[in-house]
Structure 1
Amino acid sequence: MGRARPRRWPFGATRGSQDRLLGHLDELRRLPQGGGPDGDFRERLRTRLTSADALAVPPVPESTGRARHARRTRRVRLSWPSQLATLGLAAGMMMSAFITYQSVPGDTLYPLKRAAEHTLVRLSTDDRERAEREMVSAKERASEVAALLGGSGDGPLVSATLSDMAESTKSAIKRMERVEPRSPKLNSFAQDQRDAVAPMLDQLTGPEQDQANTYLHYIEGLAVPR
């Protein structure tokens, strides 16, 4: 029979290291089984856990989150008094605009009306649109003269309004003749103005009557007899 091969320890360990490893294993077997950490380790662990709990941020309950969202929603929504105040303000602005449009020379809001008209004319994009807006202004001046004659009939106000009407008319006609010399709008405008101003002659006297006559002669060539 051949010689038995010597038993080899794994990893090429030497005989001395093998003896030391066996000695350590024997010491481990003699240790008490089932033992836990010592008292010092438990105290250190308790201290660390207590510190972590103190620094942790407590979670926000779901009900609290819903309450905060509801409060933010209530702040965004306007209350009924605020809504009523907003509607009242809008209604007041509309009423003020209507009163301003109905004002005549001498009224407190009349300068605001004229400023709005001038702004619309200046914002016109071309000569045609500007001429049409000036025609509207001339018609409005004729209506204002009629209102003044039906009321106090203040001479200076009537004279100033007739002058403004003539100025708007001349500017409108010049612009319209430049872009469309024989525009039917000129004929319609002249006829409307003649029908509005001619009846005023009997109520006008002195310089104001002369102004009205001069105006009628100016637009006479534009209006085709009906």
Structure 2
Amino acid sequence: MKLFGYWRSSASYRVRIALALKNIDYEYEPVNLLAGEQKSDAHLARNPLALVPALKTDEGAVLTQSLAILEYLEETRPDPSLLPHGAAPRANARAIALTLASEAQPFMNLRIQQYLKSEGGFDDEVMKQWLNTWPGGAMAAVEKMLARTAGDYSIGDTPGLADCFLIPQMFAANRFGVDVSGFAKMNEIYERCQKHPAFEKAHPDNQPDAVKG
């Protein structure tokens, strides 16, 4: 497999965590978003949305959208599973993942922030309010969802699908100054995952294209 991604991309981070949890080896090809490489003809052929990640499978198929990629990995490499046992817990895991993927991360996306600053006239204070209202609001909802689950991780005592989405969201929230101080369960899971080998391997700072400093 070959993963096309960017070290600080939340969506790429999700896929790296899943690959690490499943102990899947892969090649990595960086796509420098700041340099505009996502708009190259080569990458647009992989992902017409000019986004990362994209995953080229062993069979040569090219997959996009992090949740779809994780579902593919679950279907083709089911052991160890990213999903808990039982229909309801699996639905809860997917609900947490979808809430973060659709209601939190898109509003925090760098291209959205750049547009709001350049076209909407958002200054730093207004941008801070935006981030705490939309991504922060969605994360507050997830904190309440986590209150209905039990275990060391989002769903149970084994890291899985929901954590693949939660940890990158917390990383991005800390990066952009979203107030996460009131999210006790999220912070607890986040700190626990920092000590897990799969999450450590997938961490942005440990990627070949990471920029230090």
Say whether the fold is shared (TM-score over 0.5): no
Select the structure that is richer in strand: 2
Computing the radius of gyration from Cα coordinates, the structure with the larger value is 1
TM-score (normalizing by structure 1): 0.31
**Which structure would you say has the larger RCO, counting Cα contacts within 8 Å and 6 or more residues apart?**
2
Select the structure that is richer in helix: 1
